[in-house]
C-alpha cells in the first residue's frame, strides 16, 4: 500500500479535520490533496523530488504533506522553530528546489552563505489557485522513500532519516493493533505535526480508520481543555509535560470522555504515572520510539500497563537487547535496545557510513540502554551516551531522576555527568522546584541517601527556573552539560 492510500474509502461526508472553526470532510480532504498535487507537478515536481514543508499545526499542513507524496515527491517537514541558517542547512542537504510554507520566510542571506540557489517557496493560498496541468500518476513502490525526518540535531548536524511508504503504513498498522482506533474516535493533535510521533500517532492512525482529528495550532493548556470539551475529544497523545499539566490543572470529570492517554517523546516519571492513574482512574499508556523507526517501537496496552515500562514491542516489530558484540542479553540484563521490522528506516540521507553503523547486523541500534522482564515488557534504563562512569561504577541518570521526582518540592529533574579529575565523572542534578518552594541542599542529599547508594547521590545540585527542552518535551542534556561547566566556574569564583 502507498501511504496516501490510507485515505481511500472513507465516507465522503465523514469529518476528517477540525481546525479552529473550519471542518473538512474526507471528500474535501482528498479533493484538496489532488488539487495541490497537481499544482506541485505543474510547478516542476517530478518523481522523487524532495519538497520542504514548514508550518505550525493546521489543516493545510496535512493536505500539503499528502499532496507532495501523491504527486510522487518526498516531503521534508521542518521544525518551524529553526533559525534561517538551520533551515538553510537542511534545504541544501536535502537538495530542495520547492518549499511549501504557511508564510514565506527570508532565507536569502542564509542560503547565500552556503552557496545554495534555486529554492522557490509557495504558500498555502497560492497552492489553491486553479492551474491547467495534466496530472502524471507516477508508478510508485511501497519501498520508495516518501518522507525524510530530520533528527533534532542535539549533537552535531541533524541527520535525515529516510522513511518509505511501507515504513509509514506498517507503523500505523502496528501501533493501532495495540491502541485500537475506529471511525468514531475524535483525537486531539497538539503535538507538532513535523515530528513523526505526532504524525503517526495523532494523524496517520486516526486517518487510517476514518476518524476525526481536532488540530491545535500551539499548545496552550487552557485552549487544550476548551477543545477537549467543545469537540468531545476521546483520544489524546502528548509528552510528559502535558500529562503533568493535566494532573495539576484538570479535574477528573473534565477528562472523563478521553478513553486513551498516550505519552511519549520523553520518559514519564513513575510518580506522575501513578498519581495520574489515582486521580483520573485511567492509566497513561507510555510508549517509545525514534524517528528512524517511523517512530513507534513499543507501547503499553490498556489491558496490562506496567508503570515505568515502555510496554512490549508492537506486533511486527522485533526488539532485541544486545551486548557490545551483538549477542542477546538475558531477561533482566541491561544492554542496547535494537529494533528490526518494516518500520525501520531506509537509511540516512547522504550518510552511508552513519547508516551502516546505525543498521549494522540488520538491526537499528537505538543508543538506548534497556532490559526486558519475563513478560517481554521493555524498561529503558538510560541513553547509552548519558550513562555516567564515576570511579569505575556505571550510574544511570534516570534512576536518580526517578528518586528526585518523589520529592514533593521537585517539579522537574535532570541528571548529567560532569568532568571530575578524581573520579572521571561526577553526578550533577538540575532541578525545577514547585512555585515558591525553597529546598536545602543538605536536606536533599540526606533524602537521596535514604533512597540511593552513596555513589549515585549527586555531588552538585543546581536549581533553575526551567530545563532546556526540544519541541517534544525532551530535556536537552547536551545543553545542560554546557551549562554545568559555566555554573561550576561561577561557583568557584
- Strand 50-54 relative to strand 74-77: parallel, antiparallel, unpaired? parallel
Q: Identify the structural domains of the chain with CATH numbers, from first to last.
A: 22-140 (3.40.50.980), 162-384 (3.40.50.12780), 387-492 (3.30.300.30)
Q: What is the tens place of the pLDDT at every residue in 11-44?
A: 999 999 999 999 999 999 999 999 999 999 999 9
pLDDT at 154: 44
Q: What pLDDT does residue 103 have? A: 96
DSSP assignment of 220-270, as one string? -HHHHHHHHHHHT--EEEE-HHHHHHHHHH--GGGGTT--EEEE-SSPPPH
pLDDT digits (tens, 9 = 90+) for 320-371: 999 999 999 999 999 999 999 999 999 999 999 999 999 999 999 999 999 9
Cα separations in angstroms, 80 against 158, 192, 470: 15, 9, 12
State residue 267's pLDDT score. 87
pLDDT(493) > 80: no
Residue-by-residue DSSP string for 270-313? HHHHHHHHHHHSS-EEEEEE-GGGSSEEEE--TTS--TT---SB
Cell of 136: 502524471
**Rounded CA separation 276/150 (Å):** 33
Cα separation of 291 and 459, whole Å? Answer: 35
Which residue has 538540575 as its cell numbers? 430
**pLDDT per residue over 413-451, tens digit each?**
999 999 988 888 999 999 999 999 999 999 999 999 999
362: alpha, beta or left, given left = phi > 0 and alpha = psi -120 to 50?
Answer: left
pLDDT of 235 reads 98
Predicted structure pTM score: 0.89
Q: Give the C-alpha separation, 270 to 266, whole Å.
A: 12
Q: Count of CB atoms within 10 A of residue 33's CB?
A: 22
Residue 452's pLDDT is: 92
Mean pLDDT of 90-98: 98
Question: Grid coordinates in use for 423?
Answer: 573520579
Strands 186-189 vs 160-164: parallel, antiparallel or unpaired: unpaired
**Mean pLDDT value across the chain:** 95
pLDDT at 241: 87
User: Residue 230 — very low, low, confident or very high, per pLDDT cuts 50/70/90?
Assistant: very high
Confidence bin at 489 (pLDDT 50/70/90): confident
- Given this model, what pLDDT does residue 259 score? 97
pLDDT at 440: 95
Q: How confident is residue 152, by pLDDT bands cut at 50, 70 and 90? A: low
Strand ranges for 111-172 from DSSP E: 120-123, 145-150, 160-164
Q: How confident is the model at residue 471, as a pLDDT?
A: 75
Cα separation, 148 vs 157, whole angstroms: 15
**Residue that the C-alpha cell 542479553 belongs to:** 329
Model confidence at 151, pLDDT cuts 50, 70, 90, reads confident
Judged on CB neighbours under 10 Å (0-12, 13-18, 19+), 244 is buried
The backbone torsions φ and ψ at residue 255, rounded to the nearest 5 degrees and listed phi first, read -115, 10
> Span 289-304, mean pLDDT?
97
Q: Is the pLDDT confidence value at 155 over 70? A: no
Question: b/e per residue, 329-353, with b = 16+ CB within 10 A?
Answer: beeeebbbbbbbbbbbbbbbbeeee
CB atoms within 10 A of CB 166: 20
* Confidence class for position 156, pLDDT limits 50, 70, 90: low
How far apart are the C-alpha atoms of 165 and 73, rounded to whole Å?
12
Look at residue 229 and tell me whether its pLDDT is greater than 80: yes
Give kind and range of the element (H or E) at residue 19: strand 15-19
Of 416, 392, 439, 407, which Cα lies nearest the Cα of 487? 416
Q: Identify each DSSP E strand in 308-346 by its residue range.
A: 317-322, 335-341
Cβ contacts of 459 within 8 Å, gap of 6 or more: 420, 426, 427, 428
Amino acid at each position: 500500500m502507498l501511504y496516501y492510500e490510507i485515505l481511500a474509502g472513507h465516507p465522503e461526508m465523514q469529518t476528517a479535520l477540525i481546525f479552529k472553526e473550519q471542518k473538512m470532510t474526507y471528500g474535501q480532504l482528498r479533493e484538496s490533496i489532488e488539487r495541490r498535487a497537481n499544482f506541485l507537478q505543474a510547478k516542476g515536481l517530478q518523481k522523487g523530488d524532495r519538497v520542504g514543508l514548514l508550518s505550525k499545526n493546521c489543516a493545510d499542513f496535512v493536505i500539503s504533506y499528502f499532496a507532495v507524496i501523491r504527486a510522487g515527491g518526498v516531503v521534508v517537514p521542518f521544525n518551524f522553530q529553526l533559525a534561517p541558517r538551520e533551515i538553510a542547512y537542511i534545504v541544501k542537504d536535502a537538495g530542495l528546489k520547492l518549499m511549501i510554507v504557511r508564510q514565506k520566510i527570508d532565507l536569502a542571506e542564509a542560503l547565500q552563505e552556503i552557496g545554495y540557489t534555486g529554492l522557490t517557496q509557495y504558500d498555502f493560498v497560492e497552492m489553491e489557485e486553479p492551474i491547467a496541468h495534466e496530472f502524471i500518476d507516477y508508478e510508485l513502490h511501497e519501498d520508495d522513500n516518501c518522507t525524510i525526518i530530520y533528527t533534532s540535531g542535539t549533537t552535531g548536524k541533524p541527520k535525515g532519516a529516510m522513511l518509505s511508504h511501507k515504513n509509514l503504513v506498517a507503523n500505523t498498522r502496528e501501533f493501532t493493533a495495540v491502541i485500537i482506533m475506529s471511525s468514531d474516535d475524535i483525537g486531539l493533535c497538539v503535538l507538532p505535526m513535523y515530528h513523526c510521533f505526532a504524525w503517526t500517532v495523532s494523524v496517520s492512525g486516526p486517518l487510517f480508520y476514518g476518524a476525526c482529528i481536532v488540530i491545535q495550532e500551539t499548545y496552550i493548556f487552557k485552549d487544550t481543555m476548551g477543545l477537549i470539551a467543545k469537540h468531545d475529544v476521546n483520544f489524546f497523545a502528548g509528552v510528559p509535560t502535558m500529562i503533568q499539566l493535566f494532573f495539576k490543572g484538570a479535574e477528573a470529570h473534565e477528562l472523563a470522555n478521553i478513553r486513551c492517554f498516550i505519552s511519549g517523546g520523553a520518559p514519564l516519571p513513575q510518580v506522575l504515572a501513578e498519581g495520574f492513574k489515582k486521580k483520573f482512574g485511567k492509566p497513561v499508556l507510555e510508549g517509545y520510539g525514534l524517528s528512524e523507526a517511523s517512530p513507534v517501537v513499543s507501547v503499553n496496552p490498556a489491558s496490562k500497563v506496567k508503570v515505568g515500562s515502555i510496554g512490549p514491542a508492537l506486533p511486527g516489530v522485533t526488539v532485541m537487547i544486545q551486548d557490545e558484540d551483538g549477542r542477546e542479553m538475558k531477561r533482566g540484563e541491561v544492554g542496547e535496545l535494537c529494533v528490526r521490522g518494516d518500520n525501520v528506516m531506509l537509511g540516512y540521507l547522504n550518510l552511508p557510513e552513519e547508516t551502516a553503523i546505525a543498521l549494522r547486523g540488520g538491526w537499528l541500534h537505538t543508543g538506548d540502554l534497556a532490559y526486558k522482564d519475563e513478560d517481554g515488557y521493555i524498561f529503558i534504563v538510560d541513553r547509552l551516551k548519558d550513562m555516567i562512569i564515576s570511579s569505575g561504577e556505571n550510574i544511570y541518570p534516570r534512576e536518580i531522576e526517578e528518586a528526585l521526582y518523589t520529592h514533593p518540592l521537585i517539579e522537574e529533574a535532570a541528571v548529567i555527568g560532569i568532568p571530575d579529575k578524581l573520579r572521571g565523572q561526577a553526578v550533577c542534578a538540575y532541578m525545577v522546584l514547585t512555585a515558591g518552594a525553597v529546598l536545602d541542599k543538605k536536606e536533599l542529599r540526606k533524602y537521596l541517601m535514604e533512597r540511593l547508594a552513596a555513589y549515585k547521590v549527586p555531588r552538585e545540585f543546581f536549581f533553575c527556573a526551567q530545563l532546556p527542552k526540544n519541541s517534544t518535551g525532551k530535556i536537552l542534556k547536551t545543553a545542560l552539560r554546557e551549562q554545568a561547566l559555566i555554573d561550576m566556574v561561577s561557583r568557584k569564583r
